[in-house]
Structures are given as C-alpha cells and as structure tokens.
A and B are shown apart, each in its own frame.
Chain A
Amino acid sequence: MNETPTIIDIWAPWCRPCRAMEPIVDGAAARHADRVVLEKVNADENSARVRELRVRAVPTLIAMSGDRELGRLTGAQSEEAINDLFALATGHRRAEAERMSKTDRAVRLTAAAAVLMVGLLSGPAIHLLVVGAVIGASTLTRPGRTWDSG
C-alpha cells in the first residue's frame, strides 16, 4: 500500500473558488513536493471518483494517507486552512492541531474573565465564580480545532 500522503483536490472548471484557490494549492504542493502528492480530480469528468470520495461540493480538498482520510476541507478556504491541511498530511501539524487556536483561547479567556467579574459583582455569586474558573481551566486542555479521520 502506498502510504505517501496525498492531497486530493476536487475541482470543476466552472467553479470560481476552485480557480481562486488553485495557485494556493499549487504553491503548497510545490513546497511539500518531496512529502505530499497532489492529485487533482475534475469533478465533471470523474463522477465515479467523486462518489467514491463522498464529495458533495467543490472545491473539496482531502488529505489521505494510504486509504485513511486524515482531514477534509469543503468550500472556499483561506490560505492558512490550506496550508494547515498540507501540514496535517505531512504529520507536522498534528501536534499543533491538537493545541488550542488563538481565537479559541481568547474567547475562553474573555468568557472566564467576564463570568468571574459578574460573579464578583453579584454578591459574590459562588456558582458564577466556579463557572468562570471552569471556563478558564478549559483553555489549558481542550483542542481548538478538530481533525477527524474518515
């Protein structure tokens, strides 16, 4: 079995987001050329392959390792998301993917601070202080992004 990671790019000629993403995908593929294979699938000409991959929309990018699906992006994507998918395919991003994103951490810290402040201003209300502490503690543990296998 070929275990070289593959990024499958399902596109269509009429798809504007596909064309917009093409240089980004090609650039990422060039940077990872020694570790990742890029397979482009024209959805209009390869309906059997599209069904096999359970693709419901274009553009779709799928990271595969052998027969195992590592992750999938559906719809127009940012350059960061595309690079993340390539990094995931090469295995370099798995540890980072399991860490919390900056946005997630900022939101949780804001929530924790807000609830703690409300708890202090409301009596203090012990249960709100507990809720705030739990939210704050969650920034230490929970991943911010989930990559599922297929």
Chain B
Amino acid sequence: MSAFTNQAGWERIGRVVLGAALLYLGWGEVVSGGLGTFLKFFGFIPLITGTAGWCPIYAALRFRTNRQTVGV
C-alpha cells in the first residue's frame, strides 16, 4: 500500500472541521448525556481520517475522492 490518501483536500478539511465540531459538542458539554459521551469519542473518527487523508471505508469500497494515485 503506497497510495495512502484517498480523500480530496476539501473533504479532508471538511472532516477535520466536522470532527472538531463534534468534539466541541461532546467535550464542551454543549450536548450532555449519552449522546454527549458518544460525541466525545465519535468526533475523533472524522478528525483522524481527515488528518490522515485516508478513510478505511473508502478503501474497502475502492472509492476515492482524490484523483491522483501514486505508488505501486
């Protein structure tokens, strides 16, 4: 595996912003209860996948939003 990213730049930024917003809702206690606890951890998923530029679901489905493929 060498063509490591499968997300376009706009999607990566969007995921990062979404992840940060969800984390704020959870950790900032804007949302409380079970949903708040859920958001505290779920927010890390778009944040991490956006930061890395690689989505495991995309990889499983052989889908990508960036066009460039580099590597063997």
Contacts and interface: CB of A to CB of B under 8 A. Distances in A.
A58 B3 CA distance: 17
B67 A148 contact: no
Contact of A146 (B2, B13, B20): B2
Nearest to B43: A118
Given A115-B20, A128-B23, A147 B2 contact: yes
A2 interface: no
Contacts of A121: 24, 28
A111 B27 contact: no
B45 interface: no
Nearest to A75: B69
B9 A106 contact: yes
B70 A73 contact: yes
A145 B2 CA distance: 9
Given A78-B68, A110-B16, A150-B72, A115 B23 contact: yes
B30 to A, nearest CB: 9
A88 to B, nearest CB: 9
A122 interface: yes
11 contacts: A84-B70, A107-B51, A110-B16, A111-B20, A114-B19, A114-B20, A115-B20, A117-B20, A121-B24, A147-B71, A150-B72
Interface residues of A, number: 35
Range of interface residues on B (Cβ < 8 Å): 20 to 34
Contacts of B13: 106-107, 110
A122 B24 contact: yes
Interface string A41-83: 0000000000000000000000000000101111111100100
A144 to B, nearest CB: 9
B63 to A, nearest CB: 13
Interface in B10-59: 12-13, 16-17, 19-20, 23-24, 27-29, 47, 50-51, 53
B7 to A, nearest CB: 9
